Amino acid sequence: MNPPSLESPFENARKQMLDAADIAGFSKNTVKKLLEPERVLKSNLVVEMDDGDVRSFPSFRSQHSSARGPYKGGIRFHPGVTEDEVMALSVWMSMKTAVLDLPLGGGKGGVVVDPSKLSQTELERLSRAYVARFFRYLGPGTDVPAPDVNTNPKIMAWMVDEYSRLAGKWTPGAFTGKPLSAGGSKGRDRATAQGAFFVLSEFLAEEGQSLQGKTVAVEGAGNAGLTMIGILHAAGAKVVAVSDSGGAAHLAEGFDDQILARLKKERKSVSEYPGAKKIGADELLELDVDILVPAALENRLTATNAPKVRAKLVLELANGPTTPEADAILFKRGIPVIPDILANAGGVTVSYFEQAQNDSNFHWTAEEVAVKLESRMRSATRDVVDKAREHGRELRMGAFVLAMGRIIAAMDARGW
């Protein structure tokens, strides 16, 4: 199988699947069924603005694989959303749920919009319009969306309410990442970062190391990034660089997560941290630190800057931050990359827990959620490390081989 050209995130995802297939010797005809999503939905959402004007917003939902269960994946509201991006993210969700051995498939959605330019009522109309347009393709046994970039529990509450209205009954399991008052799960707000911490801790333990005293650079100070900084600080690591859309900063003695949180609450950039040195966003990726945590958007580590990365370990908190070319370069340089489909899978894992709680109409304590999350994340980390060692390849290929093997086994069992 000849790999496609790397012109897009989706082509990157396809190449990763093809590479894993070659490594593991999977059937070419079977793998071909995974190279395209099972369904891609597209629509223009027509929404009335507060001033009476009507605007149209392009929207997408990519449903990649349902071999192991209902499609699962977030919905992002961002002006840069593309069909290609959504398709790629749906592939990575399929891999992610399989790596964690969850009975789910992979999906992803998006709307081309800058939500900061909408009022709350306009945002609610847009959220409900998305559900109304794709209603017949969503649901607890079909496709269960969740929050993603620029979406949050409030938006999920609007969406699940709209779904329930159309279904004629309260259906909390149709969406996850909801507020606790609307059927959400305790621990969901910290799940992505908490899961990444468990993965990182387990990986370091495999190497006979701990987080104590490690220096860390975190690119991206959204919810996951900020939460990760707090967790790392509590574990004895020192976050010496951080960035957001407003800039990047470096502080040798380490950032205080509480001060960073206060800056964000005041709608200020982390680059305004008192006493910190402002640096370029790309400079952060090349700092001499123990651990680099990309927690922003796709394709940040590339063939151009991978040779300049000086971190000893990369932990992908974002989706798709490393291109395949950069992966190969970092692997040859002996810099492990803990891939997104393992590292940031805490979010989808607790989303699965939320579905299970909704189905049973019984809610777990925060402690129960944390214990179950830690068990799954640490177990998955050992599985990925073992698979990578078995094939003598980078961790991402170990994760892809593991995930695709599980998906293909489900396809075979179902006669696909």
Task: List the catalytic residues.
Answer: 108
Residue type, 164: S
Using an 8 Å Cβ cutoff, are 146 and 74 in contact?
yes
300: helix, strand or coil = coil
- What is the Cα–Cα distance from 299 to 315, expressed in whole angstroms? 14
For residue 145, report the phi and psi dihedrals to the nearest 5 degrees.
-75, 170
Beta strand 106-112 with 71-78 is parallel
Residue 113 makes CB contacts below 8 A (sequence gap 6+) with 57, 77, 78, 79, 81, 126
Length of the chain: 416
Taking the CB of residue 189, how many other CB atoms lie within 10 A of it? 21
Taking each continuous run of H as one helix and of E as one strand, the counts in the chain are 14, 12
Residue 366 makes CB contacts below 8 A (sequence gap 6+) with 186, 187
Cα dihedral 361, 366, 372, 378 in deg (nearest 10): 150
The kind and range of the H/E element at 249 are: strand 247-250
Beta strand 39-48 with 71-78 is unpaired
